[in-house]
Structure 1
Amino acid sequence: MLLLDEAEARRVAGLYDLPVTGIIGLLIQAKREGLVASLAEEMNRLREQGNFRIHDALYRRVLEMEKEE
């Protein structure tokens, strides 16, 4: 696994049919593996401490999908 968050890296990965996921996808995987207790807490931490933008609709959809709401 290689972690990159640049548009060019995602474009090149697409050229080679490599799977791409974002930070939210990584958090979901971590939650499913028991490495994260709460997606809401982690996403809030990203928003507050990391100034990471997460659209409200995506935030709600993730919580609903993972039955945290």
Structure 2
Amino acid sequence: MTLALEIRPDVLLLDEAEGRRVAGLYGLPVTGIIGLLIQAKREGEISSLAEEMDRLREEGNFWIQDALYRRVLEVEMDE
């Protein structure tokens, strides 16, 4: 966080809630892995958000809240 405050990146990659909260207090722009996946989908870098989130869950043991998973899939359907 200290380094981010010094260099002021375009975006800070954080998935942890407390880290995101603190970054917000300092006005640092934040995204997480799901945000990166959504951007990759928009840019045509990946074909399916569901497949990538499933891989994160299964292979990376990455926890994704079910409600967030469903909201992300709604984004995919809208595009």
Interval containing the TM-score (normalised by the shorter chain): 0.7 to 0.9
User: Unpaired segments of 5 or more residues in structure 2?
Assistant: 1-10
Matches within 5 A, 1:23-34: 23-34=33-44
**Counterpart-to-counterpart distance in 2, 1:60 and 1:15:** 28
Kept in 1: contact 2:13–2:32 (CA 8 A):
no
Structure (1 or 2) with the greater strand fraction: 2
**Which residue number corresponds to residue 20 of structure 1?**
30
User: Unpaired segments of 5 or more residues in structure 1?
Assistant: none
1:57 aligns with 2:30: no
**Counterpart-to-counterpart distance in 2, 1:32 and 1:61:** 16
Q: Which moved more, 1:25-34 or 1:14-23?
A: 14-23
- State the Cα distance separating 1:3 from its structure 2 match: 4.0
Aligned residue pairs total: 67
**Which structure has the larger Rg over C-alpha atoms?**
2
Kept in 1: contact 2:40–2:46 (CA 8 A):
yes
